[in-house]
A and B are shown apart, each in its own frame.
Chain A
Amino acid sequence: SQKIEQNSEALNIQEGKTATLTCNYTNYSPAYLQWYRQDPGRGPVFLLLIRENEKEKRKERLKVTFDTTLKQSLFHITASQPADSATYLCALDSNDYKLSFGAGTTVTVRA
C-alpha cells in the first residue's frame, strides 16, 4: 500500500541553525512533490514545489531536494527564526488533482 512518512513528529532547534526535515514515500510515483506550512488552527500554505526531474529547488531561506531513486525529499530551513515555528507537510502530487499529505513535522525554533 502507499505510504508517506515524515521522519519525526517534532523538531526543536536553536535560532540561526538549519532545520532539516525528511519525507519518504513508498509505492508512489509522484510527478511532483510539494511542501506546505501549517500554523495551528489555520489552513496549509504552499511553500515550494519540485519536479521529479529536478534535484534541488530554492526559495529565500528554504531549500528542497528530491531523490526519486531513494524516494525521498529533504526540506531545509536555513538561518531559522522563531517565526519559522510551524508544522511542515510534504505532499505527493501525481498529476490527478489528488495531493497525498504526510503527517507533518512540527518545528519549534528557540530564540
Chain B
Amino acid sequence: DTEVTQTPKHLVMGMTNKKSLKCEQHMGHRAMYWYKQKAKKPPELMFVYSYEKLSINESVPSRFSPECPNSSLLNLHLHALQPEDSALYLCASSQARTGSHNEQFFGPGTRLTVL
C-alpha cells in the first residue's frame, strides 16, 4: 500500500467549532507531516513527527493541535479557527532517515473552509 489517506475530503466549520483532520499511512514510514497550502502558493510546513514524537513545530498557532497516536496515524485538532485558516491541509509521510534524503508521499488533502 503506497497511499496516504486523509479524511474528510472537505470540511466547513464555524469559528467556535472543534473538529479533527485525520491521516493514515501503511508504508511503514516513521516521519509524518502536516502542511497548509493556500491557493496558488506552495505547501507550508506546519508540524513534523518523527517516531511518533513531535520534532518540528513551525511556530503554528495553538488553535492547531497535532497528535500522533501511533506510527500509522496522524491527527490535526482544530479549535477556534479564523477565516484566514481556510486552506488545503496536506498530510505527508516519509522514511525517517537521519542525515539523508526523505522524499515525501502526500495525501490528497482536506479542503477546509472556516466561516
Binding site for B on A (CB under 8 A): 31-32, 34, 41-46, 49, 51, 89, 93, 95, 97-99, 101-104
* B45 contacts A99, C-beta separation under 8 Å: yes
Given A89-B42, A103-B41, A104-B42, answer yes or no on A41-B88 (Cβ-Cβ < 8 Å): yes
Pick the residue among A31, A43, A49, A51 that contacts B90 (CB under 8 A).
Answer: A43
Count: A-B pairs, CB below 8 Å: 56
* B88 contacts A44, C-beta separation under 8 Å: no
* A51 contacts B109, C-beta separation under 8 Å: no
From B66-74, B79-87, B96-104, the one touching the partner chain is: B96-104
Residue of A nearest to B56 (CB): A97
* A43 contacts B107, C-beta separation under 8 Å: yes
A-B contact pairs, 19 of them (CB 8 A): A41-B88, A41-B111, A42-B108, A43-B4, A43-B90, A43-B109, A44-B43, A44-B106, A45-B106, A46-B103, A46-B104, A46-B105, A95-B99, A97-B31, A97-B94, A98-B45, A98-B56, A99-B104, A103-B41
B21 at the interface (CB under 8 A from A): no
Residue of B nearest to A39 (CB): B108
Contacts of B43 in A (CB 8 A): 44, 89, 101
Residues B38-61 near A (CB distance < 8 A):
40-43, 45, 48, 50, 55-56
Q: What is the minimal beta-carbon distance from A38 to any residue of chain B, in angstroms? A: 8
Residue of B nearest to A45 (CB): B106
Contacts of B94 in A (CB 8 A): 97
* A103 contacts B109, C-beta separation under 8 Å: no
Residue of A nearest to B91 (CB): A43
Bound-state Cα–Cα, A98 to B98, Å: 12
Contacts of A43 in B (CB 8 A): 4, 90, 92, 106-109
Residue of A nearest to B43 (CB): A101
Q: What is the minimal beta-carbon distance from B115 to any residue of chain A, in angstroms? A: 20
* A97 contacts B109, C-beta separation under 8 Å: no
* A51 contacts B48, C-beta separation under 8 Å: no
Known contacts A41-B111, A98-B45, then 10 further A-B pairs from the complex at CB < 8 Å, ordered by chain A residue: A31-B101, A34-B103, A42-B108, A42-B109, A44-B90, A46-B105, A89-B42, A95-B100, A97-B94, A98-B56
